[in-house]
Amino acid sequence: MANQIPLVDYLALGDQPHLTALECTSCGARYFDRRNACAGCSGTEFASVVVQNDGIVKAFSIVTFAAPGVPVPFVSAIIDCGGTSVRGNIINCEPSPEVITLGMPVRLATYVLGTDDNGVEAIGFGFEPAN
């Protein structure tokens, strides 16, 4: 297997790929980016937690017009993963409103988005229909 690198820090690869979040130890707010402090309570201590792979679509948009260099169509979505909101594309299905619906169950899926000159694969993630 080639060397791999995740598209973003908060995608953990391996046998069971999953997302991780930084959880504020004071108020429980979860973040995906490097933090200076908590936006909810200004706390400065965070613990890395696993975000569940299953969720439901709570908002989506089928994007057919995007900035130069961004391939279309793609489906932008907000997924409720057990109470943690996650942004990601809906993948592995037709990008149509007949297929993608609000409340639809989805689960995390990964894919290879490219290989660099060193042979390292970058791994992206999205959410695919669970049914």
Which positions touch other proteins (CB under 8 A)? 5-10, 29-34, 39-40, 57-72, 74, 76-78, 83-89, 97, 102-103, 113-114, 116-118, 120, 122, 124-125
What number of other Cβ atoms are within 10 A of residue 2's Cβ?
9
Q: Name the minimum Å distance from CB 15 to other proteins.
A: 21
Gyration radius (Cα) of the chain, Å = 16
To which residue do tokens 């900035």 refer?
A: 67
Q: Name the minimum Å distance from CB 84 to other proteins.
A: 8
Q: Name the minimum Å distance from CB 74 to other proteins.
A: 5
Residue with Cβ nearer other proteins (63 or 93):
63
Q: Name the minimum Å distance from CB 34 to other proteins.
A: 5
Residue with Cβ nearer other proteins (97 or 105):
97
Q: What is the residue-wise DSSP string for 107-129?
A: EEEEEEEEE-TTSPEEEEEEEEE
Contact by Cβ (8 Å): 4, 123: yes
Residue with Cβ nearer other proteins (53 or 89):
89
Residue with Cβ nearer other proteins (46 or 125):
125
Contact by Cβ (8 Å): 113, 122: yes
**How far apart, in whole angstroms, are the C-alpha atoms of residue 122 and residue 116?**
8
